[in-house]
Chain A
Amino acid sequence: MSQLSELRITSKEGNGKSSATGQNGSRFDKTGVAEAPRYSCSMGGAYMCTLATFGAVPIIHSGPGCVLAQNFGQNFAAGLNGAGPNGNTSTPCSCLVDEHAVFGGEAKLRGLIQSTQELVKGSLFVVISGCVPALIGDDVAGVVRDFQSGDRPIIIVNTAGFKGNSYHGYQTFFDSIIEQLLTEQPKQKGLVNLLGIVPYQHIFWKGDLQVIKNLLESIGLQVNMIFTENDGLAAWQRVPAAELNLVFSPWCGTDAAAKLEQKFGTPKLEFPSVPIGPKDTSSFLRAVAQQLGIPNDQVESVIAAQEFRTYRFTEYVADMVMIALPHAFAAVVADTSTAIGLTRYISNELGWLPEVVVVTDDPPSAARERIIQYLRDGLESAVKPEVIFEVDSHKIRLLLRQHTAQIILASSLEKYIAGDELNAMQVSVAFPVYDRLIVDRTYAGYRGGIALVEDVAAKYGGPL
């Protein structure tokens, strides 16, 4: 196949202008047909949330291959991460086959829950059901209910792969926890929860959470990251005690925050992304401080010290920025919040020119106008990005060919395309990422922007 010439001819198909309708919802029979969309299924999202809760043991009620698919299609695809002590083939799974489809899988699940609680250490057991039980009509909730009267916390997350993507799974997971696990707690002054950072879909999730936590602690707050807190069950149980919920996405996690507000009276404060670099980080701290009535001078002294240090350190990257990477036309291909955070940083601090932003996580249409505003308003760059909502990796490739970006911040799917077809530098910053190991790397916070410059400059390498 000599695709190059053929694809250039057909490249108009991906010519979406900044519009809130995007590719989805046009004709129902096509919805979902795509090359390599950048997420897994609802079950996968809920499973990743469980693995991100330390001490939680997932019990997957599904066909035999769902777990392996998530291991390679979620955690490994998000910066080459191993799945941890209860993930991958360490995950208890009912491995349903045809005879269960005929006779039902409930008995199998019952035995699996029993044996898992006997054998596997854990403080919270999370039963996640996939497509097969949903299609054959297993009463999964009924089976789990029998165990909920016991003294070992166990919940059911009723997903099915066909119900939605990983982000849908994240939201379903929160819904299940809120409904089945959380109870009213006395409010704890200065405690905040962090929502909207989706494990693995946001490839820097671990580092993002930790940096936000450290930042807020520096202005005197206590922070519940929930995911990766040492005691995951305790972290979840503490959620209703928070004074404020922070959501770092214009659309993912907002429903959960609304439910928490309704059920426990916790107000929420929404940010479109985690803050990247000093400007947005300082604004973020001021906004949270204002909401919680933290004295101005306390916050401003932290900000002054952090900004001094960060910009003093920025001196060290200035030669590379000015000589190797100046005023680059940039393309960003990422999920909503990663795209917003990076676009603002490269435009407002690095002096780059964000030419096009492709949003890859299929946000609901109601959120799209707002996302476009976040991506185009408040940018110092005279170049405002064209914003396109696209999940099809083939169409994204064609779209990028219509631009002349010099630096592409994207997934590793764009790695070779950037070099071979677009003559652009590329750094993998969004799901999926197979070309770098990401543990707690992050671009969030004061130092985050410098970390980004380090990663971009590593691709330039060599003496000036």
Chain B
Amino acid sequence: MIDLKAKTCPNREQRAGAITAYYGKASELVRDVRCGAVKQRERDFQQATGCVLNFYLTTRVATIRDAVMIVHAPVGCSSTALLYREVYRRIPPSEGRPADFDLHWLTTGLNENDVVYGATEKLRYAILEAERRYKPKAIFIMASCTSGIIGEDIEGLIEELREDVSPALIPIHCEGTRSRVIQTAYDAFWHGVLKYLVKKPRQKQKDLVNIASMLSYTWQDRLEITRLLTRLGLRPNFIPEFATVDQFEILSEAAVTAPICPTYTDYLSRGLEQEYGVPYFMYPSPVGIDHTDAWLREIARHTGKEKEAEQLISEERAQWVPVMQRIQEEFTKVLPNGKQVDILGSLGQGRLVTQVPYFEELGVKTPATICQDFDNLLLDQIDGIIKQSGDFDVLVNTFQAAELAHLTRKYDPKLALTCPFQGAAYKREKGSTRIHALRGDSRQWSRQAGYRGAIAYGNFLLQATKNQAFQKTMLAKTEDPYHDWWYAQPNPLHYLRKESVNEPAV
């Protein structure tokens, strides 16, 4: 039950029992989470994780095309958003990127004076200035550790201003200290959207499909999803990145909310169903041929397009399955005697539940999965994956570079997928490549979604098995950041405390 009367969502810890530290079998994790035996625990050695504001809310909200983001914080909290004028510009308008758009954000630049005397007047000035300068349709006001600790009454100010300013004012409670689980950011953002921005439906749009699109799915992924939905006579409503405010307002009018990343979309999907009766599903995502089939069927079921979907699926399969078979054959040639290639991957829970089945489709195996957090939102789906693919190890950690380096050495897979948050883990004798590209990357080889993505991503992984020079050289020629004992002992969670954390009542 989502309580839109509340200022904000509950933290993921409270709402879904989320944890950020675990190492063991997937089956045991699922079992223990079900019976409430898994508790959040702290580490004595910890590396930077990101926070509710600065995992990526600053860079995401700043891309809403006719809104303004105000970060009510010291100047450093919004520095990630300095990319705002360039982030989507490399996508050529010929690929469907609107030619004319202009993004804006402001910081309130909280200083020593403000933390002593309060900064509500400064925020008022910033809101009025944002309206005067940019004439936006919405202003998102992002809270911070500092605004939270000094007790800024953002809601009170907004109530005062609501009559006087025309843009919608949406406070987002993304104080960095509020939660250890950075995925709380998703819920905090969607809470603001549901509470202040989504309008009552004027009319239901039977062909509209809400798709909350992560920054880690690229422009080409949008194009592929659009292509497929268009073939069914449907229209995607991609939010929040690079959307217009209008696209949020009409979320209530859609026929269904479909996932790309279920853990990301969850709060929004539930909220839209509860408030406006928009149906949703959580699984699967359109990654891999089989899951794209299933994803399309699920959407078709809610839009009355079952027949069209079957037609589309059979045409697409006829085109892509033979290509996939060639990729599978190539993978059997990577290791001597056709030995199965193993790939260590994952990132969030969403990728955990898409990668394991997709790798199976490629004919490779997953020795272990890694995810940033783990909660009780996808237990049935993970059960299903274990049934289909067998049990596997799970390391739950939010960007703990030392633990990831440890795990990568321990499993020593043919190919390790990595990202800049994994530190030196990419330096190894065997294969390393990136997990995913980012939204501004409009190149076709960066695709991962839909049928074309399944093929492109398979080829991409194959490429990575063919040359190890960079990571091998870096391993040999640069010093590892950690002392040798770290790799000699068996436990990536060596520094995990025994006792669970004592979280103050919310």
Q: Within 8 Å of chain B (Cβ to Cβ): is A165?
A: yes
With both chains docked as a complex, state the minimum distance between the C-beta of B435 and any C-beta of chain A, in angstroms.
14
**Is B96 on the interface with A (CB-CB < 8 A)?**
no
A33 and B48 contact, Cβ closer than 8 Å, known pairs A44-B79, A97-B179: no
For the complex, what is the distance from the CA of A121 to the CA of B481, rounded to whole Å? Answer: 6
Which residues of B lie under 8 Å from residue A10 when comparing CB positions?
A: 132-133
By a CB distance below 8 angstroms, the chain A residues around B264 are none
> B452 in the interface, Cβ–Cβ < 8 Å?
no
Cα of A7 to Cα of B134 in the assembled complex, Å: 8
Which of A71-79, A242-250, A337-345, A348-356 sits within the interface?
A71-79
A307-338 contacts to B (CB < 8 Å)? none
Residues A1 and B134 in contact, CB atoms below 8 Å apart:
yes
The answer to whether B79 and A121 touch across the interface, beta carbons within 8 angstroms, is no
Q: A32-72, CB under 8 A of B: which get 1 and which 0?
A: 11111111111110000000000000001001111111111
**Contact between chains at B54 and A65 (CB < 8 Å):** yes
Chain B residue contacts of A1, Cβ below 8 A: 66, 102, 134-137
Q: Contact partner of A43 among B51, B76, B108, CB < 8 A?
A: B76
For B46, give its contact among A34, A65, A95 (CB under 8 Å): A95
Task: Say yes or no for B477: interface residue by CB 8 A criterion.
Answer: no
Whether the pair B482, A132 counts as a contact (CB closer than 8 A) is no
Question: Does A451 reach chain B (CB closer than 8 Å)?
Answer: no
- The one of B75, B126, B402, B424 in contact with A37, judged by C-beta atoms closer than 8 angstroms, is B75
Is A112 positioned at the interface, with any CB of B under 8 Å from its CB? yes
Does B53 reach chain A (CB closer than 8 Å)?
yes
Taking the closest CB of chain A, its distance from the CB of B460, in whole angstroms, is 21
Given the contacts A88-B421, A131-B145, A70 and B55 also touching, CB distance less than 8 Å: no
Which residues of B lie under 8 Å from residue A114 when comparing CB positions?
Answer: 44
For chain B residues 284-318, which have a beta carbon within 8 Å of chain A? none
The smallest beta-carbon distance between B192 and chain A, in angstroms, is: 18
Measured CB to CB, the closest approach of chain A to B395, in angstroms, equals: 15
Contact of B125 among A29, A43, A66 (CB under 8 A): A29
Decide yes or no: A416 and B89 within 8 Å by CB, A69-B54, A119-B482, A394-B104 being known contacts: yes
Q: Is the CB of B176 closer than 8 A to any CB of chain A? A: yes
The answer to whether A33 and B85 have CB atoms under 8 Å apart is no
CB < 8 Å neighbour of B122 from A6, A32, A42, A85: A32
**In the complex, residue of chain B having the shortest beta-carbon distance to the beta carbon of A2:** B100
A96 touches B (CB below 8 Å): yes
Cα distance, A38 to B486, chains bound together (Å) = 39
Option from A64, A77, A163 in Cβ contact (under 8 Å) with B112: A163
Produce 1/0 per residue, B462-493, CB < 8 A to A: 00000000000000001111110010000000
Indicate with 1 or 0, residue by residue over B94-117, a CB within 8 angstroms of chain A CB atoms.
000000001011111111111100
| Residues in B whose Cβ lies below 8 Å from that of A6 | 135
How far in angstroms is the closest Cβ of chain A from B188?
13
With a CB–CB cut-off of 8 A, which chain A residues contact B503? Answer: 98-99
Given A1-B134, A44-B79, check contact A95 B85 (CB 8 Å).
no
Minimum CB–CB distance from A410 to chain B (whole Å) comes to: 12
Q: CA separation between A139 and B270, bound complex, in Å?
A: 44
Closest Cβ of chain B: how far from A32's Cβ, in Å?
2
Partner pick for A33 among B42, B50, B129, CB 8 A cutoff = B129
Interface centre among A6, A28, A69 (most CB of B within 10 A): A69
B133 pairs with A93, CB closer than 8 A:
no
- Is B24 positioned at the interface, with any CB of A under 8 Å from its CB? no
Asked if residues A99 and B504 are in contact (CB atoms below 8 Å), the reply is: yes
* B 332-365 to A, binary, CB cutoff 8 A, 1 in contact else 0: 0000000000000000000000000000000000
Return chain A residues, CB-CB under 8 Å to B486. 119
CA–CA, A89 and B398, complex, Å? 9
Q: Is the CB of B504 within 8 A of A98?
A: yes
Interface residues on A, range: 35 or more
Q: Does A281 contact B (CB under 8 A)?
A: no
Give bound CA distance, A151 to B442, whole Å: 52
Q: A34-B107, A63-B177 are in contact. Are A161 and B146 (CB under 8 A)?
A: yes
Q: Are A89 and B421 in contact (CB under 8 A)?
A: yes
For residues 363 through 414 of chain B, which have their beta carbon under 8 Å from a beta carbon of chain A? 399-402
List residues of chain A with CB within 8 A of the CB of B84: 36
Is there contact, CB below 8 Å, between A95 and B77?
no
Question: Which chain B residues border A32 with CB–CB below 8 Å?
Answer: 75, 107-111, 114, 122
Which residues of chain B are near A96, meaning CB under 8 Å? Answer: 177
Contact between B50 and A65, CB atoms less than 8 A apart:
yes
Cα distance A73–B480 in the bound complex, in angstroms: 25
CB distance from A22 to the nearest CB of B (A): 15
Query: Is the pair A65, B106 in contact by a Cβ cutoff of 8 Å?
Result: no
Complex Cα distance, B135 from A6, in Å, reads 9
Number of residue pairs spanning A and B whose beta carbons lie under 8 angstroms apart: 272
**Chain B residues within 8 Å of A36, by CB:** 81-82, 84-85, 105, 107
Q: Annotate A356-399 by CB proximity to B: 1 below 8 A, 0 otherwise.
A: 00000000000000000000000000000000000001100000
B150 at the interface (CB under 8 A from A): yes
Cβ contact of B76, chosen from A34, A35, A41, A97, cutoff 8 A: A41
Chain A proximity mask over B13-50: 1 for CB below 8 Å, otherwise 0? 00000000000000000000000000000101111111
B233 at the interface (CB under 8 A from A): no
Known: A32-B107, A34-B107. A64 touches B48 (CB 8 A): yes
Decide: A64 and B50 in contact? CB cutoff 8 A.
Answer: yes
Within 8 Å of chain B (Cβ to Cβ): is A26?
Answer: no
Question: Which listed residue (A28, A35, A63, A108) contacts B145, Cβ 8 A?
Answer: A63
| Cβ–Cβ contact A66 & B54, under 8 A | yes
Question: A462 at interface (Cβ–Cβ under 8 A)?
Answer: no
Q: Are A162 and B114 in contact (CB under 8 A)?
A: yes
For B129, the chain A residues whose CB sits under 8 A away are: 33
* Separation of A38 and B85 alpha carbons in the complex (Å): 13
A296 within 8 A of B: no
CB A94 to nearest CB in B, in angstroms, measures 7
- Residue B499 interfacial (CB < 8 Å): no
Which residues of chain A have C-beta atoms less than 8 A from B46's C-beta? 92-95, 112
Complex interface residues of chain B between 166 and 182 (CB less than 8 A to chain A): 176-180, 182
Knowing A35-B105, A95-B46 are in contact, say whether A68-B423 is a contact too (CB < 8 A). no
Tell me which of A72, A99, A102, A412 contacts B59 (CB under 8 A): A72
Q: How far is the CA of A206 from the CA of B323 in the complex (A)?
A: 47
Complex partner residue of B107 from A37, A111, A432, CB under 8 angstroms: A37
Instruction: Tell me if B121 is interfacial: C-beta within 8 Å of chain A.
Output: yes
Q: Within 8 Å of chain A (Cβ to Cβ): is B501?
A: yes
**Which of A28, A33, A70, A162 has the most C-beta atoms of chain B within 10 angstroms of its own C-beta?**
A162
Q: Which residues of A contact B164 (CB under 8 A)?
A: none
Judging by beta carbons under 8 Å apart, are A162 and B111 in contact? yes
B66 vs chain A, min Cβ distance (A)? 5
B6 at the interface (CB under 8 A from A): no
**Which residues of A lie under 8 Å from residue B136 when comparing CB positions?**
1
Is B401's CB under 8 angstroms from A97's CB?
no
Asked whether A82 lies within 8 Å of B176 as measured between CB atoms, the reply is: no
A30 to B42, CA, bound (A): 40
B85 CB contact (under 8 Å) in A37, A40, A416:
A416
The residues in B between 64 and 83 inclusive whose CB is less than 8 angstroms from any CB of A are: 66, 73-83
B149 on the A face (CB < 8 A) = yes
A residues near B111, Cβ cutoff 8 Å: 31-32, 162-164
Known: A3-B102, A416-B89. A89 touches B83 (CB 8 A): no
Q: Does residue B272 face the partner (Cβ distance < 8 Å to A)?
A: no
Give me 7 A-to-B residue pairs in the complex whose CB atoms sit less than 8 angstroms apart, sorted by A's number.
A32-B109, A35-B106, A66-B54, A88-B421, A108-B42, A119-B402, A163-B112
The 5 A-B pairs of least Cβ separation, nearest first, read A73-B79, A32-B109, A65-B51, A41-B76, A65-B54
Q: A32-B110, A33-B108 are in contact. List 6 more A-B contacts (CB 8 A).
A: A33-B109, A97-B180, A162-B74, A393-B85, A394-B133, A415-B85
Residues in chain A within 8 A of chain B (CB atoms): 1, 3, 6-7, 10, 28-44, 60, 63-74, 77, 82, 85-86, 88-102, 108, 111-112, 114-116, 118-121, 131-132, 135-136, 160-166, 393-394, 412-413, 415-417, 432, 434-435
